[in-house]
């Protein structure tokens, strides 16, 4: 059962990464918080696949340049 949960979690993380790519590489963070759990977002941040940018008017989640 734990393996299924992990696969589902990885699927959500990959879906989030794909969604960011489709939006041009960055998405306002507040828009994602209703579609994806904080733990999925945090996992991508921990893996350094995405980064948060402070625009002064909000935060953007964008694909990391090194990725």
Q: What is the DSSP string of the chain?
A: -HHHHHHHHHHHHHHHHHHHHHTTSEEEHHHHTTTS-HHHHHHHHHTTSEEEEE-SSSEEEEE-TT-
pTM of this structure: 0.82
Alpha-carbon distance of 25 to 62, in angstroms, equals: 6
Contact (CB, 8 A) for 20 and 63: yes
Is the backbone of residue 48 left (phi > 0), alpha (psi -120 to 50) or beta?
Answer: left
- pLDDT per residue as tens, the chain (67 positions): 566 667 888 999 999 999 999 999 999 999 988 889 999 999 999 999 999 999 999 999 999 986 4
């Amino acid at each position: 059962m734990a393996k299924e949960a992990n696969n589902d979690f990885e699927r959500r993380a990959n879906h989030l990464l794909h969604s960011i790519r489709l939006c041009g590489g960055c998405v306002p963070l507040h828009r994602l918080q209703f579609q994806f759990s904080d733990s999925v977002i945090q996992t991508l941040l921990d893996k350094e696949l995405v980064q948060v940018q402070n625009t002064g008017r909000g935060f953007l989640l964008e694909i990391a340049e090194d990725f």
